Amino acid sequence: MPHHKTALRLVAPVAVLALSLTACGGGDDNAGAKSPATEKAKVFPSPEPTSGGEMGSGESATGKVEEDPGKVTYEILAQKVDVGTEAEAAKAVSEPDKVKGKVLATAYLKYTHKSGPALTDGADVHDGTTVFADGQRGTVLIGASEDAAGCEDPYDVDSWKQGESHVFCETYVIPANAKNVEVHWSEEDGEPYIWKFPNA
């Protein structure tokens, strides 16, 4: 039985830039962008922690996602980021001029189902992932991660039970000269967990 996720994936068989690379600045001043931080600033009684924050190498975060069958608690670990070359970026897009001076950064995240209902029709947990370079959000490249070695397609997961893990990847376009790459994951409207990787 077809479902909406498959239909959405089929319309983008090749990697495409989801955001215009020429649109600089404008989106940074979105109203409400800082409201989650304000809400999280409340003092919580111990032992309830505030979500988000910088993570150490190999340190996992825990977050909840509203999946189709119900709310699932995941353990999330950003494993690594593979940064490519400018030539590889130019080959990956239909308009190479838009990625001059830029490279592809593919973040590998391991998600472990900790509690909640089993998933039978794909997962949305990866939607909370973004990649930043030197503090600036990159531009997502849709479809590029599906062919990367070791990356699974979250929409192909048709049986995911408690205790099982899957690795999903996100590919972003970042400046070639970026010194640091950050992988962010957050719950909806939550503060991000941040893993930092040097861009050697």
Flag whether pLDDT at 46 surpasses 80: no
pLDDT at 189: 86
Tokens for 106, please give them: 């593919």
pLDDT at 59: 94
Tokens 């909406």 appear where?
4
Strand order in the sheet with 193-198: 53-55, 193-198, 180-185, 129-133, 136-137
Tell me the CA distances in angstroms from 45 to 49, 50, 171, one per residue in order: 8, 10, 38
- The alpha carbon of residue 200 and the mean position of all alpha carbons in its chain are separated, in whole angstroms, by 21
Flag whether pLDDT at 60 surpasses 50: yes
pLDDT at 9: 45
User: For the ranges 45-54, 94-103, 129-138, which has the lowest average pLDDT?
Assistant: 45-54
What kind and span of H or E run contains 104? strand 102-115
Closest CA to 108 of 92, 129, 89, 91: 129
SS3 12: coil
Q: Are 161 and 113 in contact (CB under 8 A)?
A: yes
Flag whether pLDDT at 109 surpasses 80: yes
> Which one has a higher pLDDT value, 97 or 20?
97
Please tell me the number of Cα atoms within 13 Å of 118 on its side-chain side.
8
Name the CA dihedral angle for 25, 26, 28, 33, rounded to a multiple of 10 degrees.
Answer: 180
User: For the ranges 33-42, 89-98, 99-108, 123-132, which has the lowest average pLDDT?
Assistant: 33-42
Tokens 């049986």 appear where?
159
Q: What is the pTM of this model?
A: 0.74
pLDDT at 145: 67
pLDDT digits (tens, 9 = 90+) for 131-171: 999 999 999 998 776 667 899 999 888 899 999 999 999 99
The CATH number of 4-19+61-198 is: 2.60.40.1240
pLDDT digits (tens, 9 = 90+) for 174-198: 999 999 999 999 998 899 999 999 8
pLDDT at 117: 94
Q: Are 109 and 77 in contact (CB under 8 A)?
A: yes
pLDDT at 16: 56
pLDDT at 75: 97
**What's the rounded Cα separation, in Å, for the pair 164 and 159?**
10
SS3 108: strand
Spell out the residues 6+ positions from residue 51 whose beta carbon is closer than 8 angstroms to its own: 40, 63, 186, 187, 190, 191, 193
